[in-house]
Amino acid sequence: MTKHPKEADRLKKIVESFPNVTVTVLGDLVADEFIFGEISRVSREAPVLILKHRERTVVPGGGANAANNLADLGVNVLPVGIVGDDEPGKMLLKYFRHKKIAVSGVLKDTSYTTVTKTRILAGMTHTARQQVVRVDREPAEAPNQHLTRELYLAARNYAHASDALLVSDYGYGAATPAIVNALEEKGKLSVPIVLDSRYRMLQYAGVTAATPNEPEIEQALGVSIGQDWGKLVAAGEQVMQRMKLQSLVITRGRDGMVAFDCKHKPVDIPIVGSDQVADVTGAGDTVIAAFTAAIAAGATTEEAAQLANYAGGIVVMKRGTATVSQDELLHTLEQSPPATRPH
C-alpha cells in the first residue's frame, strides 16, 4: 500500500472550497424512520419479541440523504423530488427547512405517498440496537406525466444555476433515464452529472460519472467479480465504454473502492479506518455526495474518489442513516494521508 501525504493538502483545499459549490440533487426522496423498542418479553400469541416503545426518529433517506450529506459538507444544495401530503413528507420538509436547505424544488402532491422505510430496532437498555424488521411504504405507481414534467423543469432550472447535478435513482420515479436524457439533449446542461442508480444504471448513457457498488455492477453486466482484479477492471472498463463515462467509482465495502478515469489507469483505494463497520445504511448516499461535491469543486476523479472513500469510512461507523460533516472530513484527512494499492 502506498501513502501520499502531500496529496492530503490538495484534498483539504478541495473540502474547504465546498461552501463555494452548489449542487442540484434530482432524486427519490425517502423518509428513513427508526423505531426503537426495549425487549420486554416473548409474546404468548406467537414466538416473537414484545418491544416496549422507547423512541422514534425520522431522518432523510435516499436522495434526501444525499442532499443532507451535501448540506453537512458545507455545499449549497438544491433538492428536486416529490413528497406526499402525509406525515413523513411534512417531516422531511421540516427537516430541510431546519437545515436551511431550499425546498422550492420539492413537489408536494396529495395523490403521492412519501416513500418511507421503517426500521424496527430492538435491544436492552445498555446493549447495541439490532434491526429486527423493515417495513417499506411506497407509492402505488410512478409520478404521473404532469409531475414528471414539473420535476424536469425544476431540475433544469436549478442545474443551470449549479456546479453539478447529482441523480439519485432508487426506482420510485422521481429520477429516471427519461428525465436525465431530456436534460442532456442538445447540450442543454454544461455541468457534470453524477449518477447513483439502484436498478437501471446502464440506461443512463451520457452522464459524466457513476458511483455503483460492486453487486450493482455484477447485476448490470451479469458477471461475478469476487476478488479477481482483472475481472473488476474489465467490468469497470465495459461500463465506462457502454455509458460513455468520464469517471466511474465502484465501491467494494471493506475492500474500499476503485476509481476509473477515461484518461488514466484504474486506482485501487483501500478503506479508511476500521473494517468492522457499525452500519452501512445510507453509506452510498454519503459516497456520491462527497464525490459530487469534489467534482463540482474541480477535483480529479482520483481526488474525488479519495474524499468519497474518507466520507464512506466515517459514516459506516455511525448507526442509522447518518451524514459526514466538513469538519469530520478535514479531521480525518489530518489523521490519515490518502493511500492506494499497487497492481
d(CA 144, CA 50): 41
123-143 average pLDDT score? 89
Asked whether the predicted pLDDT for residue 188 surpasses 80, the reply is no
Give the model's pLDDT for residue 278.
58
Q: Is residue 15 part of a domain?
A: yes
Element of type H or E holding 259: strand 257-261
Parent domain of 225: 2-30+60-115+139-340
Q: Is residue 151 part of a domain?
A: yes
pLDDT over 70 percentage in the chain: 97
Q: Is residue 52 part of a domain?
A: no
Kindly report whether the global pTM for this prediction surpasses the value 0.85: yes
Q: Is residue 227 part of a domain?
A: yes
Q: Is residue 55 part of a domain?
A: no
Phi and psi torsions of 130, nearest 5°: -115, 130
For the chain, what is the domain count? 1
Evaluate whether 282 touches 21 at the Cβ level (below 8 Å).
no
Neighbours of 178 (CB within 10 A): 11
DSSP reduced 3-state for 72:
helix
269-290 average pLDDT score? 80
Evaluate whether 17 touches 75 at the Cβ level (below 8 Å).
no
179-202 average pLDDT score? 88
Give the model's pLDDT for residue 274.
62
110-125 average pLDDT score? 93
Rg (CA), the chain: 20
Q: Is residue 7 part of a domain?
A: yes
55-59 average pLDDT score? 94
Residue 264 pairs in a beta bridge with 261
Neighbours of 206 (CB within 10 A): 14
Neighbours of 336 (CB within 10 A): 15
Q: Is residue 54 part of a domain?
A: no
Catalytic (active site) residue 279: no
Q: Please state whether 102 falls in left (phi above 0), alpha (psi between -120 and 50) or beta.
A: beta
5-20 residue pLDDT tens: 778 889 999 999 999 9
Give the model's pLDDT for residue 187.
61
Q: Is residue 48 part of a domain?
A: no
225-252 residue pLDDT tens: 989 999 999 999 999 999 999 999 999 9
- Residue 293 belongs to domain with CATH number: 3.40.1190.20
- The confidence band for 205, taking pLDDT boundaries of 50, 70 and 90, is confident
Residue 162 corresponds to which cell in the numbers above?
449549479
Asked whether the predicted pLDDT for residue 317 surpasses 90, the reply is no
- The one catalytic residue among 28, 32, 169, 285: 285
Give the model's pLDDT for residue 276.
59
DSSP reduced 3-state for 293:
helix
Give the model's pLDDT for residue 8.
87
- Checking 42-51 for CB contacts under 8 A at 24+ apart, the result is 49/122, 49/132, 51/120, 51/122
